[in-house]
Amino acid sequence: MKIKTKSLFVALSALLVLLSLAGMTCAAESVEIRSEVLEYSFGFGDYISPNTWAALYYDVKNNAHTEELYLADCEVEWDDGPFFDKDAPLAPGHVGIVYLTIPAFQKFEYDWSILIDKPFLNLESMEYDTQKVSVPAGFAVIGFFGEPYVALSDDQITGYHADEYSFFVEGYDDYKANKIAPLVANDDSKFTSKAGTTLDLGNEYSLFIEQIDVEGNEVHLILMKDGQQLKKNIVNTQTSKDWILKTTVLGDKDRQVLRVHVDSVFRGTKDDLVTIDGLWFVDYLNAFEVKSDVDYGKWEAAHISSESLAYIAEDVALSSGSVIPLGKDWNIRVQDGFEVPNVNKLNEPQKIDEIKRIDNSPEIKMDLAYRLPELNNRFYLFKEYTEPGKYDIRSSISKSVDTPQYVSSPIDNDFVVISNPYIGQDLSDYDVPPLPSPVERVFFLPDGVYTYRNFAAFYYDIDTDLSTEVLIAIPQSNYGGSQSFLKESPSFMYLTTTAHTDYEYVPGAGLDENDNFIDSWDSGYDIMGYFGEKYVPLNVVDSEGFHRHDRTKLEKFAPLVTDDDTKYTLTAGGSLELGNGYSLHVTQIDIKGNKADLALYKDNVLITSSIITTSSGGGSGNWIYKDTVLNVKDVQLMRVHVKDVFNGGKTNLVEIDAVWLTDFKNTTELTAGDEVGLLEYNGSLPLANIIPSRRSYSNLEMPNSESILVFFLKNNLAMTDEMDVAIANSMSLKAYEINPIPNPIPTPGLHVTNEDTSGFKYYFYVTREIGNLSSDNGGNNNGNDVNGTGNIDGSNGDGNNNGGNSGSNGSGSGTIINPDNEVPKKPLPFGMSALSVYFFFLLLLIILCLLYLRYRSRKKKSGLN
């Protein structure tokens, strides 16, 4: 039989399309860095600083931060500074945002100190004289939408404390905030290498060690970009030891872009070696000028100068359940159910005649109390990362000495003070919105106490306002301790509990006449934050899948893999990657019986399967997989909802619109005394005895039926400068000695923050990884227990299956069709993107076609066809 070339090409193209559709189930992870949760109200005004939002640039070690955001419900503009027109309110639910950044002094990590003339008052002559002093050298750093840049200058910037309140700057007038280049390297680590080796700097730049001359005390260095030589220099270790590269950037001559300090050259046992212990480099080839006529999304340039940069998003409408792109990868997330508060009822407290607090003793009745109505007015800013790599989500920055910062009133209106959001500040001297009242913000947290409000890694559901985790680094007397978080003996404890929440898929069937849920999906499930990750205690369900409420047994739990209400349409043989190595496969589809045979796999091994009958076929459409786990019966491990089965014209299809799954193969069981990293599990206590982790102070009902897990630091830590220690799971602690150099660079007449000169700063962080290829490789089904198609026998109606292999290990290479543009849930193996795989197959198909055409041509010429 002859096969036409065109037909072959069409067939191969169709195969490529099928491959691309199948690949849409493999999806990318992401990491979200959120700000503090804000609450909209009339007269709303708030600000976001690098202390509270880790997406803003903050070098804690050198106290270098340059960015801040102001939000208000009125018109905003720039008039020698941010101006909020309180007499021109925006429409209800709308906010205006000002973004401001100004260069700050940041030290070189390597000690490139220099001698300068310091003025001092000669008491004998009563005249000013000068003396030589050694001062730190650095550069003008500027955060630009969260990324560190360098405001280019022709020399280093130096500074010192003349007294507690002043600051000397050399070269200050020369840097330009509107001509910036990405900061690539600022490092004082030691690197010892031989000739012919390359030191990676980042951004495709490298430093090539071309030659080492031990006799002449010289090393030949070449700056490379993408393998191409840019600049070269010879450094003599007996003279300057430094290579300071200056070049023309953006039309300005002698811009400093590279510093290399060579410690020594010496002869090793086999090779001549060089030690480099200082590096500083900016990506000058990608430097750019910030221009006033260039906007970024909703960010419109308001003030662009050599001293500062300001942008305004002048009218942003907050709408329920929305994600609003602002520009530069910054977004706003608004809670589902968001509503503008009713100004007439906002300040009308609800009267509570009795508040019940249930302890181990009989019921206790308290006197009258008041609380304000709960508002659905929450939103926050966030930045989402999708590129493979590791990302740290940090808490706010705390200080070992719990004293307020003193900030004097600035004279220069271009400078706006970033104050500690958890210590009250008098901002009456500024033309900015006032701080929200404690009622609006619910409560202020003491420095060193972390919840979802100031630690974005902690579990938080903005739609339901649920959170479960608390970390206390400075135990207060009413929290069960009196010690301070000191360098000599740091102490902290971690607490978490459970919260009841809804499935993402909510049928909304409502309640029957006995106030019982009609649909088991509406009964929800329990969830718990555990060191920043989402876990679920062993949720027990009854025979129909309704949740049986019991929060006293929290010590047995498993990671939550997915809770998804996206609609997926699959063919027989198709599969859906769920995460953590789990996958859901469609074995067979029975259109006449309104049934689908589904199978759950873990790392390519069949776990269980079930036949589900849709609601149109008289079933529930539910597959609720439960089993005994850690000696607990009827634990729900997975639930799936099948909406429909139908014929797509050429093949039978099944539509799945809800999947919920726990990683029941990786459960945790805690017993008092267990060690979790550096912590020791102390057991569970009634929630009423501990700080309310997920309630405002106005909600006083705390029944003892809820418990909380308590962890203490098991041993003392020896705190050191730049401490970076893993605590438990992916949570770590970082601490730095307080740097006495103030920030930012002052202008004449400008006062700066009076920082402590002793103690240290510290913060906690959780590391999240995108592109972890160690486990999520399951789901490639090669089973062969069942072959063929046709009607399915043995239906159990609503698909309630309690485990065990059912012999339904599906075969074939089915596809997923129309997955509602769902974002892929995990990367492809070996770091390959889906797009690169598709192009690979496309290239392969083209090559096959060309080979086939060449083969036909040769046959034709030889007269054999």
Alpha helices in 708-785, H assignment, sequence order: none
User: What is the sign, positive or negative, of the torsion defined by CA atoms of 387, 391, 301, 313?
Assistant: positive
Alpha helices in 546-592, H assignment, sequence order: none
What residues form DSSP beta bridges with 655? 569, 644
Question: What pLDDT sits at residue 777?
Answer: 36
Distant-in-sequence, close-in-space partners of 717: CB < 8 Å, separation ≥ 6: 490, 678, 723, 725
Q: Identify which of 254, 253, 251, 217 has the alpha carbon closest to the alpha carbon of residue 237.
A: 217
Segment (H or E) for 183: strand 179-187
Mean pLDDT by runs of 10 across the 865 residues of the chain is 42 39 46 93 88 91 87 88 87 94 88 78 78 81 94 77 42 76 95 94 95 94 95 93 95 94 92 95 96 95 92 95 96 94 57 38 35 75 92 87 34 26 30 33 58 91 88 53 51 83 90 85 92 92 87 86 96 94 96 95 96 93 95 94 91 96 96 92 63 32 59 77 84 77 36 44 90 44 33 38 35 34 32 44 65 68 52
Distant-in-sequence, close-in-space partners of 506: CB < 8 Å, separation ≥ 6: 521, 522, 565
- Cα distance between the two ends of the chain: 11
Q: E strands of 531-662, at which residues?
A: 533-537, 556-564, 568-571, 575-579, 582-590, 595-602, 605-613, 622-629, 632-647, 652-662
**Pairing status of strand 556-564 against strand 668-669:** antiparallel
**Coil, helix or strand at residue 688:** helix
Provide the token pair at 560.
């939550």
Q: Quick one: 107 exposed, middle or buried, by C-beta within 10 A (0-12, 13-18, 19+)?
A: buried
Question: What pLDDT sits at residue 356?
Answer: 38
The DSSP letter of residue 111 is: -
User: What is the sign, positive or negative, of the torsion defined by CA atoms of 536, 539, 545, 548?
Assistant: negative
Report how far residue 794's alpha carbon sits from residue 17's, in angstroms, rounded to the nearest whole number: 35
Distant-in-sequence, close-in-space partners of 3: CB < 8 Å, separation ≥ 6: none
Q: What is the dihedral of CA 586, 587, 589, 593, to 10 degrees?
A: -120
Report how far residue 422's alpha carbon sits from residue 399's, in angstroms, rounded to the nearest whole number: 12
Q: Report how far apart, in Å, the C-alpha atoms of 48 and of each of 167, 299, 404, 678 are.
A: 26, 16, 18, 32
Report how far residue 297's alpha carbon sits from residue 219's, in angstroms, rounded to the nearest whole number: 48
Determine the Cα angle at 623 with ends 617 and 626, to 5°. Answer: 150
Distant-in-sequence, close-in-space partners of 393: CB < 8 Å, separation ≥ 6: 31, 33, 54, 456, 457, 532, 765, 766, 767, 768
The DSSP letter of residue 801 is: B
Question: What pLDDT sits at residue 860?
Answer: 62
Provide the token pair at 743.
């920030």
Question: What pLDDT sits at residue 799?
Answer: 38
Distant-in-sequence, close-in-space partners of 80: CB < 8 Å, separation ≥ 6: 413, 414
DSSP-assigned letters across all residues of 812-847: S---EE--TTPPPSSPPGGG--HHHHHHHHHHHHHH
pTM: 0.75
Report how far residue 391's alpha carbon sits from residue 216's, in angstroms, rounded to the nearest whole number: 45
